[in-house]
Amino acid sequence: MTAKLFVTIAEADREAVVPVVSALADRLADEDEFYHVRARSAEVLGYIALENPDAVASPEILAELRIGLSFDEPEVKEKLAKALEYIALGNPR
């Protein structure tokens, strides 16, 4: 539920969620976390990347997003791929 709230906030004001990048990255990397929470965390990181790519374009976050593409759930893969796309759009390097 909290992860979905962060998505809503990020859609409206991306800068408002920049302070929680570290916590979102932790949720994304937590293998014990429910996969939908990991997907929502990735979605928020993607929204942040559109305006502030350097805040989320760390090698660790990028690796976790790539690893997450192996999930079986199509809607989860879509959110992770979208986050990677947004990071690439924000920072093509």
Q: Summarize pLDDT for 34-64 with one digit per residue, the tens.
A: 888 888 999 999 999 988 888 888 899 999 8
Which single residue is written with the structure tokens 């809607």?
75
Cα–Cα dist 47/13, whole Å: 9
Higher pLDDT, residue 91 or 38 = 38
* Beta carbons within 8 Å of 92's beta carbon, 6+ residues apart: none
- pLDDT for 20 equals 92
Domains along the sequence of the chain with CATH:
2-90 (1.25.10)
Task: Give the pair of three-digit tokens for residue 42.
Answer: 């990735």
Residues 6+ apart with CB under 8 A from 27: 3, 33, 37, 38, 41
Residue-averaged pLDDT of the chain: 88
Say what the pLDDT of residue 53 is: 87
